[in-house]
Amino acid sequence: MQKIRKGDSVVVLAGKDKGRTGEVLQVMPKDNRALVRGVNVVVRHQRQTQAQEGGLIRKEAPIHLSNLAVADKDGKATRVGFEVRDGKKVRVAKTTGDVING
C-alpha cells in the first residue's frame, strides 16, 4: 500500500513550488515520482504536426515523492501511518489520527 495515491491532496515540502498544494494526477512507483496538478510546471517546445499545433506547451513535470506530503483536512502537511480498522488496512494521518480517504 502506498502512502501517496492518485487523487490525494498533497503539499510540496521542497523545491521551487514549496508550500503549494495540488491533486496527484499520476504516481510512478518505480521512479518514486508523482505528477501533481499545477505544481512543477515546465515549458516545452512542441513541433507542429497534422494533428497538433506547434508552440510553447506548459505541462506538469514529475516531482519526487520525498518532496510531497499528504494534506490533512486543514490543508496542512501530515505524515501517513497504517492501521487495521474493521479488518481493513487503512491510511491514517499522524497529526489527527483520521483515516485518509482513498
6 secondary structure, DSSP code: T
pLDDT at 102 over 70: no
Query: What CATH number labels 9-72?
Result: 2.30.30.30
Please choose, from the candidates 83, 96, 82, 80, the residue with its C-alpha nearest in 3D space to the C-alpha of residue 24. 80
Model confidence pLDDT, tens digit, residues 46-84: 999 999 899 999 999 999 999 999 998 888 999 999 999
Position with higher pLDDT, 73 vs 23: 23
The structural domains of the chain, with segments of one domain joined by +, span 9-72
Q: What is the pTM of this model?
A: 0.85
Counting residues of the chain whose pLDDT is more than 90, the rounded percentage is: 81
The CA radius of gyration of the chain, in Å to the nearest whole number, is 16
Please give the pLDDT value at position 75.
87
